[in-house]
Structure 1
Amino acid sequence: MQIELRKGLALYPGTFNAVVAPEKVLITAINSNADLQRFLFLYLGGNYSRILSGVNRQSKNFDVRRGFTAHQLLTMLREAAHTVVFIEHDPTLFDQAMNMLEPLAGTLKDLSRDSLVVLYTPVADRTFLALARRADRFIEFIPIEEDRHPIRTSRLMRQCGLRLSGQRSLEVS
């Protein structure tokens, strides 16, 4: 059982993974893996979720729990007995509980001995990075910006002798 984030990049059981990526990447990874429906999947969220509405939850093995405090999140993690534990990071849980970061990070690491643990956020913040210190893998998707100066690029290509006006074929004589 694995979750493939993109071709050649998969998450495996027995690991604690910290993932920073756009919402679309995780939604696609979860929805495109039909194998996940055979395993116990626990989704843990906080006060709000960015991806839960996009996740296909037809499986009977897909449990959703929400914690409104860091203490509730810690309790849910200690009680978890799922094959996959997916935590969508919510920094508001730690507004008044910064002292909970180390116990939570330790619990995530302990839980990963028997499960695939994924701590996810679209944008890393101080609390996410504190939790991710104990992760086996830290994965960050960085969007590639498109060229902002297409005119300049075209001019440079013409100066180098390259043509931009479509495709040409060689004539056979």
Structure 2
Amino acid sequence: MQIELRRGTALQPGTFSAVVAPEKLMVSAINSNVDLQRFLFLYIGGNYSRILSGINRQSKNFDVRRAFTAHQLLTMLREAGHTVVFIEHDPSLFDGAMNMIEPLEGALKEVARESLVILYAPVADRTFSALARRADRFIELIPVEPDGLPRRTSRIMRQSGIHQTGQRTLEVS
């Protein structure tokens, strides 16, 4: 059992993967894998979910739990006995609880010994990066335009030296 995020990029059982990807891509990866219905799947969300409403939850093996604090998230991870454990990162769980990062890192790694653990966020932040330190894989997928080039905003283009008409060569000093 594996979850293919994009051609050539698959998540395997027995690993802890930290994934930064667009919401649509993650929903599509979960929904397009019909094998997931055969396995116990645990979705853990926080105070707000960006993707849960888009996930096909017809399987009887799909469990949803909400963690409202970092302590609740730790408890849920310790009790997890699922084949796939998907955590949608919510930075608000760590307000005033930064001391929970280290125990959660260990719990994510421990659960990954027997499950596929996915820590997901559409955009990495400080707490996501801290939790992902012990991940087996850190995957960041960026949206691609139909022409095959990464999507960039004009602000990012100005900061990186890319102009609408082309790319400037960076000089080595």
**Bin for the TM-score computed over the shorter chain:** 0.7 to 0.9
Give 1:145 deviation, angstroms.
2.3
Extract structure 1 runs of 4+ deviating beyond 2 A: 145-149
Across the aligned residues of Structure 1 and Structure 2, the Cα RMSD in angstroms comes to 1.3
> Does residue 107 in structure 1 map to residue 107 in structure 2?
yes
Distance 1:112 1:130 in 2: 17
- Spell out, residue by residue over 1:105-148, the C-alpha distance to the aligned partner (whole angstroms, 9 max, x if none): 10000000000000000010000000000100000012312797
Larger radius of gyration: 1
Give 1:96 deviation, angstroms.
1.0
Gaps in structure 2 of 5+ consecutive residues: 144-149, 153-161, 167-173
TM-score, normalising length from structure 1? 0.84
Q: Which moved more, 1:97-106 or 1:136-145?
A: 136-145
Residue 103 of structure 2 aligns to which amino acid in structure 1? P
- Spell out, residue by residue over 1:55-90, the C-alpha distance to the aligned partner (whole angstroms, 9 max, x if none): 000000000000100000000000000000000000
> Does residue 145 in structure 1 map to residue 163 in structure 2?
no
Distance 1:69 1:59 in 2: 27
Identical aligned pairs, as a percentage?
Answer: 77
Matches within 5 A, 1:18-33: 18-33=18-33
TM-score, normalising length from structure 2? 0.84
Q: Which residue in 1 is equivalent to 2:96?
A: 96
SS class of match (1:133): helix
Residue 145 of structure 1 aligns to which amino acid in structure 2? R
Q: Which residue in 2 is equivalent to 1:72?
A: 72
Q: Which residue in 1 is equivalent to 2:41?
A: 41
Aligned length: 151
